Amino acid sequence: MKYAHLYSPLEMGDLRLRNRIVMAPMTRSRAQQVDDNVSELQVNYYGQRGDAGLIVTEGVHPSADGKGYNRTPGIYDDMHTAAWSAVTNKVHDRGGLIACQLMHCGRVGHALNKGQNTRFLAPSALPAKAEIFTESGMMPMPVPEAMTLAEIKSVVADYQSAAARALQAGFDAVELHCASGYLPAQFLATGSNLRDDQYGGNLDNRLRFIEEVLQAIKFETGAGRIGLRISPGNPYNDHVDGNPKETYAALLQLANRLGLAWVHAIRMASTGIDSLALSREHFTGALIGSDSFDAGEADQFIAEHRVDAVSFGRAYIANPDLVTRFAVDAPLNALDKRTIYAGEGAGGYTDYPCLPEAG
């Protein structure tokens, strides 16, 4: 086989992946806006991709406050647990594995995207200097409320119950979204955290919220079913830190101490930080690399032990049968950018064609 490394199995914490092709987490904004729930649409979408070594879902908010974008799904109510069960069952029917990515947006979001009476909670009352998509066009981000100590406790508890729900719903693991300027990254970065209590100031303090969240999730799932998503130096959503290399080295060491199953690192050349090398240096668990890989480069990076698995994002949107296409070196369907987010239901979501059945 051409890409033998990509198609070899991988032990990753408590999981055993049958290949090293991971579907990257991707917000597609097709959940039900009225109740943050998934439906038959997501059952089909993830089910179509169930032969991946592992699927990481789109960002899923652990509480109504954690929602920032339009039509994103949650996992904070019994009806969410039930609806996600149908998704995980479908993926398991295909012999696959699926992790739920927990994403609390914190200060990133807009009232037009969120439910009524929800709040923008953040380490400090500083707005992200960036705009966000709403159904009324791009809008500036609001000024968030600085969280009290009691609110920090309560958000940590929200993550814990979301992790418990994820297991009840049949997810094989949970990935904590700690990239792209969302709540955990807001605590981590000096540009968004001006607190002068035990959650702000020095690096240990800025790491505290993430450590508490990871410990809370671990209590439910065990460390072998937790992954951590990072993107050191990525300025998305006004994520600004004085020394990202040092900050992320410390975060990776924390992940290592906690014995997490994997780190899922976005490599981003423009940051000047080699996030894959940094992860390897400080974290001894499995490493999933992400960003602009094709099958050949992925196979080579695995062969050279620079990563253990590779996730594919945009290629997976347009190619539900990516695992088969790579295996036979078939051309990939082109991505239709117009339907990446909130297209008309199934259009651009579950209607990309597979290769015709062989024989």
Q: How far apart are CA 320 and CA 237, in angstroms?
A: 29
Q: How far apart are CA 191 and CA 256, in angstroms?
A: 25
Instruction: Show the site string, 289-318: x = touches ligand FMN by CB under 6 A, - = not.
Output: -xxx-------------------xxxx---
Instruction: Show the site string, 177-206: x = touches ligand FMN by CB under 6 A, - = not.
Output: x-x---------------------------
Number of Cβ atoms within 10 Å of the Cβ of 75: 29
Q: Of 86, 139, 250, 340, which lies in the binding site for ligand FMN, with binding defined by CB under 6 A?
A: 340
Q: Which is nearer to ligand FMN, 97 or 179 (CB)?
A: 179
Q: According to the 3-state scheme, what is the secondary structure of 127-192?
A: CCCCEEEECCEEEECCCCEECCHHHHHHHHHHHHHHHHHHHHCCCCEEEEECCCCCHHHHHHCCCC
Answer yes or no whether residue 266 interacts with ligand FMN by CB under 6 A: yes
**Whose CB is nearest to ligand FMN?**
313
Q: Which is nearer to ligand FMN, 20 or 177 (CB)?
A: 177
Instruction: Respond yes or no: is residue 76 known to be catalytic.
Output: no
Q: Report which secondary-structure segment, H or E, holds 324.
A: helix 322-327
Q: Three-state SS for 22?
A: strand
Instruction: Show the site string, 216-235: x = touches ligand FMN by CB under 6 A, - = not.
Output: -------------x------
Instruction: Show the site string, 112-151: x = touches ligand FMN by CB under 6 A, - = not.
Output: ----------------------------------------
Answer yes or no whether residue 24 interacts with ligand FMN by CB under 6 A: yes
Q: How far is the CB of 343 from ligand FMN (least distance, A)?
A: 11
Indicate the length of the chain as a whole number.
359
Q: Which stretch binds ligand FMN (CB under 6 A): 111-119, 136-144, 244-252, 286-294?
A: 286-294
Q: Which stretch binds ligand FMN (CB under 6 A): 113-121, 153-161, 287-295, 350-358?
A: 287-295
What angle, 0 to 180 degrees and rounded to 10, lies between the N-to-C axes of helices 40-48 and 78-93?
A: 30
Q: Of 10, 26, 163, 295, which lies in the binding site for ligand FMN, with binding defined by CB under 6 A?
A: 26
Q: Three-state SS for 318?
A: helix
Q: Of 36, 51, 58, 321, which lies in the binding site for ligand FMN, with binding defined by CB under 6 A?
A: 58
Q: Which is nearer to ligand FMN, 152 or 298 (CB)?
A: 298
Q: Is beta strand 21-23 parallel, antiparallel or unpaired with respect to 309-312?
A: parallel
Nearest Cα neighbor of 354 from 340, 64, 328 is 328
List % helix, strand, coil for the chain (3-state, nearest 5): 35, 20, 45
Q: Report which secondary-structure segment, H or E, holds 119.
A: none
Q: Which is nearer to ligand FMN, 124 or 192 (CB)?
A: 192
Q: Which stretch binds ligand FMN (CB under 6 A): 135-143, 201-209, 245-253, 285-293?
A: 285-293
- Is-contact 23 103, C-beta < 8 A? no
**Residue 16, beta-bridge partner list:** 11
Q: How far is the CB of 133 from ligand FMN (least distance, A)?
A: 11
Q: Three-state SS for 34?
A: coil
For the record, the structure tokens of 142 come out as 């609001």
- Is-contact 321 33, C-beta < 8 A? no
Catalytic residue among 45, 76, 182, 352: 182
Q: How far is the CB of 207 from ligand FMN (least distance, A)?
A: 19
Residue with tokens 């410390």, as numbered in its chain: 250
Q: Which residues bind ligand FMN (CB under 6 A)?
A: 24-27, 58-59, 101, 103, 177, 179, 229, 266, 290-292, 312-315, 340
Give me the active site residues, please: 182
